[in-house]
Amino acid sequence: HMLEQEDEVLRESAYRNFYAGYGSMIHTLAACLNGQTNQLKFNSTARKYASSLECAVDANNVSPRVYEQLIETVHKNIHVLHKYMRVRKEVMKKERLHMYDLYVPMVNECNIPVSFEQAKEDVLHSIQLYGTEYAKVYERGLNSRWIDVYENEGKRSGAYSSGQRVHPFVLMNFANSLDTEFTLAHEMGHAMHSYMSFKHQPFIDSDYKIFVAEVASTCNEALLMHYLLERTTDKKERAYLINYLLEQYRGTMYRQAMLAEFEMLINEEVAKNNTLSAELLNKINHDLNAFYYGEDVIVDAPIDLEWAKIPHLYMNFYLYQYATSFCASMAISQKLLKGNQEDIENYLNFLKGGCSKSPIDLLKMAGVDMTSPHPIHDAICQFDQLVDEFDELINCK
């Protein structure tokens, strides 16, 4: 939250103080990550896999090539992220950006409060294309206490959806903001995926795999974004919405790909029998940030420690799935918005699929082939177009 404030001194102070806590115990944290990565190496070697990466992704019947292809495609198109950083730099009127400048909204004037009733109305309208059966269950979920809506004393932060046989349960902390409206769309996407999988699959196949877990949620966010953009005629408001979407691309596609690359590189170091010292981990992370963000962003020293705060690095090649799911969602949402009934039915069958097929085959049912670089490349092309549109709107070109 502090990194979103306009006061640059406050942002920098919050940023440096936050990472100072990790810096005070950085060698202990490096030893923990070194131990985790060596454990993965031992397990993969014992099971006669060629690498820790191959061992990890094989649990989902996914080829290591899908992981590598994500990183390669992002690398080939890194200039688009650099272009976005250039636009951000110009909007913020800075010669170069710092890492603590990356989360400041570039359009503040349209930050209009959104009530929960309005958010429910918006998300319900945005999913009508799925048809009556889906929409009726969705509406029931919104109005039948599936959701723990507001902040409360002792309640955990964030949001999640938990699939259960009776019906899914959603926790969130709605704050009358655009951000939490999208959280509602996201978590209800998860909830409907769980509802449909539990309804249509036997218990053993009812719980979908992590590789596809973020698809339904992110796809519903994309539909909400389309609905809101269709309804606005105000240039500033449109720019505000596109700013939000651009940050999703940066945070979910590029940043998660970067962290996935970090995880791949540290596992390669351990495969060579190298120890993951704090110095080595900091250098790998520093170099990745420099490559990903380009010459318009100063890679401030505290960001080198970012690896120390990522719990997913202890979850065995987990992070790349955020990026692949995001790209798959963007591809699917574009198909759905064209209104072809066959595409909509194929997607609903994907939601009903649970884990009755491998994640790759389930996504093929929905019309997306993640063994190909095309979904990632297409998502980057959409990002590129959005950067250009945002630049035009914000500068009234």
Q: Report the candidate in 284, 312, 289, 309 with the shortest Cα–Cα distance to residue 299.
A: 289
Helix/strand/coil (H/E/C) assignment for every residue in 269-292: HHHCCCCCCHHHHHHHHHHHHHHH
**Residues 321, 56: Cα–Cα separation, whole Å:** 12
Which of 320, 359, 267, 358 is CA-nearest to residue 73? 320
- Which of 8, 54, 90, 187 is catalytic? The answer is 187
Phi, psi of 300 (to 5 degrees): -60, 140
Query: Which amino acid appears at position 199 of this protein?
Result: K
Cα 53 from Cα 317, distance rounded (Å) = 7
Pairing of strands 97-98, 169-174: unpaired
Structure tokens at 234: 């105000």
CA nearest neighbour of 303 among 103, 157, 159, 107: 103
Residue owning tokens 């019906």: 167
- In three-state secondary structure terms, 350 is helix
At 321 the three-state DSSP class reads helix
User: Do 172 and 184 form a contact (C-beta atoms < 8 A)?
Assistant: yes
Helix extents (H) in the chain: 8-23, 26-46, 52-58, 64-76, 78-91, 116-126, 132-143, 178-200, 210-231, 235-248, 255-271, 278-293, 320-337, 341-351, 359-365, 374-395
- Which tokens sit at 63? 């080829």
| Residue 109 among the catalytic residues | no
Catalogue the active-site residues. 187
